[in-house]
Amino acid sequence: MRGRDGISFRVGAQVDMPLLVGIVAIATLGVVNLYSGTSVYVDDPRRAAFADFYVSQIYWIVVGVLAGVLVAALDYRHYERLAYVFYGGGIVALCLVFVLGEDIRGTTRWIQLGSFTFQPSEFMKIVMILAVARYLADDPKLEPRTLFDLIPPLALTALPVALVMAQPDLGTSLSYALTAFSVLAMMKIRRRALLSLLVGIGGASVLIWKYGMREYQKERITSFLDPQEDLSGTGWHAMQSRTAIGNGGLTGEGFMQGTQNQFGFLPDQHSDFPFAVFAEEWGFVGSVLLLATYCFLCIWSIHIASQAKDRFGAAVAIGVGAMIFWHTLANVGMAMGLLPVVGITLPLFSYGGSSALTMLIGFGLLMNVSMRR
C-alpha cells in the first residue's frame, strides 16, 4: 500500500516467526531476570527505587516494540535514502551531549528533556549501521578495495567513536568500531590495505591508551590482566560476578535464590552483570540455553542478509546481527572475567530504556529486511 506522500507500507507481509520467537524469548527472560536482580533492594529504603526497574523496563520494551513495528512497516529503502540525514542528526545529538548532558558518576552521556532522559550514543548505533550500509550500497565495487577506498566508511565510523570516547564511554565506542568493521567485512580488501589498516589501528590504540582514556578505564583493563592485584577495588566487580556464576553449578540455585545477588554482593547486577544473576539462578544449563538463543539471533541475521534483495538490506542485516553479537560477547565475557569491564549492555537483559529501544529498533530493521526478501 502506498500513502499520499509516496511512502509505501507492507500489508499482509509474512512475519519472520523464528526471529519473532527469539526476540520475545530474550525480552521475557530479561524482564524476569531484572525482577530477580533488583528484588534485593525492596527492603532497602535508600535504593527502593531500584526495585521498580523491571516495571520501567517493561514500559520501554512496549515503546520499543511499537517503534520496531513502525520501523518494520516502512520499506527499508526509505531508510537508505535518509541514511546520511539520520547520521547528521545523530552527530548533532552527540555534540549536544556536551552542552545539555547530565553528568552521572563522572560521565556525560545522557540528555534530559523534562522527565525524559535518553542516551544519544545508543541510538547512534543504528544510525551508523544505516550510514555504512548506504555507503556500501552506493559503491558496489567487485574488485578489492584499496586503503583510499576505505577512507569514507572509516571516517563515518571514526567521528562518532571520537565523540563518544570524549564523554567518556569506552564500551560504546568499541561497539561502534566492531559493528562497523563487521559490516565492512562484506567488502573485498587488498592485503596491503588490510595490513596498513591493522597497523593504523594498532598505532591508534597506543595513542588512545596514552591520551584518550581516563585513569579508571586503564585500571579496569589492568585489573583484568591481573585480577588478583586489587580484589577490593577495581577487581571487585569481576570477582563477585565469577563467584555468582560458579555458585550456579549445573542447574542453578533457583529463581530469586542466588546468594551473591540476594545478599547484595553482586554490584551493578541490573546493568553490567545481569548474566551473573541469570547464571547463578539457572546454572550452566540455563546459561547455555540463553547463549544459544543469542547465537540463533546472530546466525539468523546472517541468513536474512543472504536472502536480502539488495546490498543495502544485506549490510543492514549484518550490522544489526554484529551489534547483537559484539554486545553479547563483551557483556558475557566481562561477567566471566574473560574480558575487561567496559560497560557494554547485554541486549534486552541489561536495564536501560535507550538500550532496549535501540535493540528493538534494530530487530525491527531485521524484520523489515526479512519481510521484503
Render pLDDT for 17-75 as a digit per residue (tens, 0 to 9): 999 999 999 999 999 999 988 876 555 554 555 567 888 899 999 999 999 999 999 99
* Residue 44: how many other CB atoms lie within 10 Å: 11
pLDDT tens, residue by residue, 186-198: 888 888 877 887 8
pLDDT value at residue 9: 45
pLDDT of res. 4? 44
Cell of 153: 566508511
Which strands, in side-by-side order, build the sheet including 107-113?
101-104, 107-113, 116-118
Q: How far is the C-alpha of 278 from the C-alpha of 29, rounded, in Å?
A: 9
Cα angle 24-276-41, degrees, rounded to a multiple of 5: 90
Q: What is the rounded distance in angstroms from the CA atom of residue 152 to the CA atom of residue 150?
A: 6
Q: How many CB atoms lie within 10 A of CB 263?
A: 9
How many whole angstroms from its chain centre is CA 255? 26
Residues of the chain with pLDDT under 50: 1-12, 46
Query: What per-residue confidence (pLDDT) applies to 361?
Result: 95
pLDDT of residue 12: 47
Report yes or no on whether pTM surpasses 0.85: yes
Residue 342 has φ and ψ, to the nearest 5°, of -120, 5
Q: Is cis: bond before 120, omega within 30 of 0?
A: no
Rounded CA gap, 356 and 351, in Å? 8
Domain ranges of the chain: 17-371
Q: Is 180 helix (H, G, I), strand (E, B) or coil?
A: helix
